[in-house]
Amino acid sequence: MRKEIAPRHSLVAYSKKILTAALLLLSLSYSTFVNAVAIHLDFTTYVTSMNVCSYGNCTYYNIYEDPIVSDHRFSLELNNLTNTAYTDAYNNNPNFTETVNTSISYSSGAWPTDRKNTDANVIQAYTQYESGDSVISDMRVSTSLDKNYSSTDVIEQTYTGNLPPELVPGTETATRFEDGSIGFSWDDVVGSDPSFVVFDYDKLIAFYESLVGEEFDYHEHLTSYACADVDPFGHCIGPRIGETTIYENGYAILSASTVVPVPASIWLFGSSVIGTIAVARRKKAG
């Protein structure tokens, strides 16, 4: 019995499919690092002291021996990345400072019911100066991350105590407002390489990955109060009742830096378009 041999054009088509799949996998793995959409920074925070303030009176709590531990995530969209650079030099001598400032911002949620704004600021300073017969150079990088958030919701509450009659709401429903912010900061000398540019996508991602395990200063404050009279835009126009602000301080450790790649569907769509064009050209040539 004679063995059937697959037509040549079928083998070519099959080979092209394998090649396309391989290129797709390669592009996806490449996009994970280069074509990033956002960076997720996960922190574990340790609150070691608190100040609780209400109506001008504050109480301080030292909880260093038993800190409050929690987790926070910063999501930074690289599409919002902006940067500025400048160099300072004096009298043409070797002493100069090169600074690159990179900022990223991200906003989400509806105002004023649930709003979050995240801002990241990375400052790179390369300083060169003379010390005796040698030239010393330092690369200092600092980063600060700030998240501001606000939320409102309707609560049912019965007010008691010695409030003046004009401050007591006529109903048991009120709107609770919460406004707060979270911040991290870090600063250190990271080397002497003047070619390190943090606003480059790849190097910015690598920079954040290099911070995993580092300790940051940490602070947070939260102000909350109830309001029985709210305007149509959701703003409190009545007396603030039970307004309390809590200030937390401590440290945080960056536990993970995760890159969000371009969605795979985009690459699949791109590869299908390329394949369609190739087939169309082959048909036209035939």
Question: Tens digit of pLDDT for each residue in 95-119?
Answer: 677 787 888 887 777 766 687 888 8
C-alpha–C-alpha distance, residues 45 and 43, integer Å = 6
At 28-54, the pLDDT tens digits run 444 334 467 888 899 999 999 999 999
User: Residues 120-166: pLDDT tens digits?
Assistant: 888 878 777 776 677 777 888 888 888 888 888 876 655 555 555 55
User: E-strand spans in 132-198?
Assistant: 134-156, 173-191
47 vs 76: CA distance, rounded Å = 24
SS3 category, 269: helix
The predicted model gives 24-30 an average pLDDT of 45
Give the model's pLDDT for residue 157: 53
Q: Which pair of structure tokens corresponds to residue 275?
A: 């394949």
Burial call 242-256: b when 16+ CB within 10 Å, e when fewer: beebbbbebbbbbee
Average pLDDT of the segment spanning 178-185: 84
Which tens digit of pLDDT belongs to each residue from 189-217? 877 776 766 667 787 888 889 889 988 88
For helices 8-33 and 264-285, what crossing angle results, to 10°?
A: 150
Q: What does pTM read for this prediction?
A: 0.65
Q: Is 148 helix (H, G, I), strand (E, B) or coil?
A: strand
CB contact at 8 A, 175 and 227: yes
Contact of 201 with 78, CB cutoff 8 Å: yes
Instruction: For residue 20, give every residue at least 6 positions away whose Cβ sits within 8 Å of its Cβ, in sequence order, or none.
Output: 271, 275
Q: Is the pLDDT of residue 8 over 80?
A: no
Alpha-carbon gap, residue 151 to 112, rounded angstroms:
6
Rounded Cα gap, residues 156 and 93, in angstroms: 69
- % of the chain exceeding 70 in pLDDT: 66
The 8 Å CB, 24+ separation contacts for 235-241 are: 235/112, 236/175, 236/177, 238/169, 239/166, 239/167, 241/159, 241/163, 241/167, 241/169, 241/174
Which pLDDT score is estimated for 76?
Answer: 84
Task: Give the CA angle between residues 167, 173, 179 to the nearest 5°.
Answer: 80
Distance in Å from the first CA to the final CA of the chain: 34
Residue carrying structure tokens 């709210």: 230
Burial status of residue 74 (CB atoms within 10 A of its CB: 0-12, 13-18, 19 or more):
buried
Task: Give the residue carrying structure tokens 């990241």.
Answer: 120
250, 218 contact by CB (below 8 A): yes
Helix (H, G, I), strand (E, B) or coil at 194: coil
* R_g of the chain computed on alpha carbons: 28
